[in-house]
Structure 1
Amino acid sequence: MPIIPGAAPRTPDVQVGPVNLAARVNEALAVQALAFGLGEDEIEVRRHIVLRHTMYPGCRALAATTGTGRLVGFVYGMPNERSHWWSTVVEPYLRATGTDGWLDDSFAITELHVHPEFQARGIGRALITALTDGAAQPRSILSAIDTESPARRLYRSLGYVDLARQVHFPSAPRPYAVMGAPLPLRRGE
């Protein structure tokens, strides 16, 4: 897997590059399960979602892999469409804050996860910046659990701001925040 220039994590034996997410979905979901605390039932539901997403026009994925090929992180996203399920859920919240225009002409980060043993090494930053650097859209949107966390701090450091908070997804036990940033993402730590 080739390393993407300018997107190197601080761990020299980890490279960021394109991945066939459909072919490596089980490895990616194993990382997500550890990073996000998912059970087997939820992993199976997400498998079908990820595989469906990989067929969407413009969907792109990157992985962080060790020198031995072990997948230790991944990110994927796609041009946002208001007809996508995620957009239909967040649109009323964004409309209430006057930010629903962010649903148009944005690249949506669908998932970003790094194995807990490899977190805090710049891998998440390398993944998201490399993915958005290849986006044709002028901005990016995503959702994250609405709590102060390393993930939210990372997103803020990249230029993401809260567009709506306390967003409730069906079957999600905790509320989310929807965040948006102009592209290219801000660099630096």
Structure 2
Amino acid sequence: MIELRRAGAEEFTAELDAVIDTYTAAMRPPVEQLSGRQSIMRNHATFPDFACLFAETPGGQIVGFGYGFHGAPGQWWHDVVRRGLAERAGAGVAAAWFENALEIAEIHVHPGYQGKGIGRRLVRGLCEGRAERTAVLSTHDQPTAARHLYRRLGFVDLMGMFVFPGGYERYAIVGSTLPLLPPD
């Protein structure tokens, strides 16, 4: 049985090697991106109201993780995405989604443990009891299991075909009001 365990910023950064191992197995990024990703994750742990969940085996092996924080001006993702949404849909729409948002930065499950409801539990656990009005995140703009999961949880597309500055991959920016839809 996979258990979820809450971790604070200090414990999260102490477990970054295990986190990066799970991230690498799930996402298969180019090796040269891993040190930068680790640095980004370490920085995220300093953001306001940081929350992390680890999905662990009975032996304590991390096989999934998710984390988020309160989005605020001055955070790169927050500023880039809010500006992009304002350009496409108007400043009022962007404000409605980003003025008081939980930004879910990462949700990853090791491939050997996918399809067992762990990702759903991670998203629900991160959103549960949050004071923010909305939750927002980015995901590959493809018909993936992650996109299907987010839709089932009540997330709607805010922007599609979004390319981050300096990038080339297309992302969907999705959001949901909180609390999330009840389980089906």
Taking structure 2 as the reference length, the TM-score comes to 0.92
**Residues 74-153 of structure 1: matches in 2 within 5 Å?**
74-95=65-86, 96-98=88-90, 99-101=93-95, 102-153=97-148
Return the letter of the residue paired with 2:36: V
Q: Is the 8 A contact 2:47 2:70 kept in 1?
A: no
Alpha-carbon RMSD: 1.2
1:82 deviates by 2.6
1:105 deviates by 0.3
Deviation readout 1:56-115 (Å, 9 max, x if unpaired): 121110100000000000000001113210022212321112331211101000000000
Unpaired runs of 5+ residues, structure 1, are: 1-12
Measure the CA separation in 2 of the matches of 1:82 and 1:152. Answer: 26
Unpaired runs of 5+ residues, structure 2, are: none
Partner of 1:14: 2
Return the letter of the residue paired with 1:173: Y
Q: Is the 8 A contact 2:55 2:118 kept in 1?
A: yes
1:40 deviates by 2.1
Q: Is the 8 A contact 2:68 2:102 kept in 1?
A: yes
1:188 deviates by 2.5
Partner of 1:188: 183
Q: Residue 31 in 1 paired to residue 25 in 2?
A: no
Equivalent residue pairs, number: 177
Measure the CA separation in 2 of the matches of 1:107 and 1:156. Answer: 17
Partner of residue 62 from structure 1, selected from 53, 64, 81: 53
Partner of 2:169: 174
Q: Residue 42 in 1 paired to residue 42 in 2?
A: no
Partner of 1:9: none
Structure having the larger proportion of residues in helix: 2
Q: Is the 8 A contact 1:82 1:103 kept in 2?
A: no
Measure the CA separation in 1 of the matches of 2:21 and 2:129. Answer: 26
Q: 1:32 to 1:172 in 2, by over 3 A?
A: farther
SS of 2:157's equivalent in the other structure is strand
Taking structure 1 as the reference length, the TM-score comes to 0.89
- Identity within the alignment, %: 33
Measure the CA separation in 2 of the matches of 1:173 and 1:149. Answer: 18
Partner of 1:3: none
SS of 2:22's equivalent in the other structure is helix
Which ranges of 4 or more aligned residues in structure 1 deviate by more than 4 Å? none
Q: Is the 8 A contact 2:138 2:171 kept in 1?
A: yes
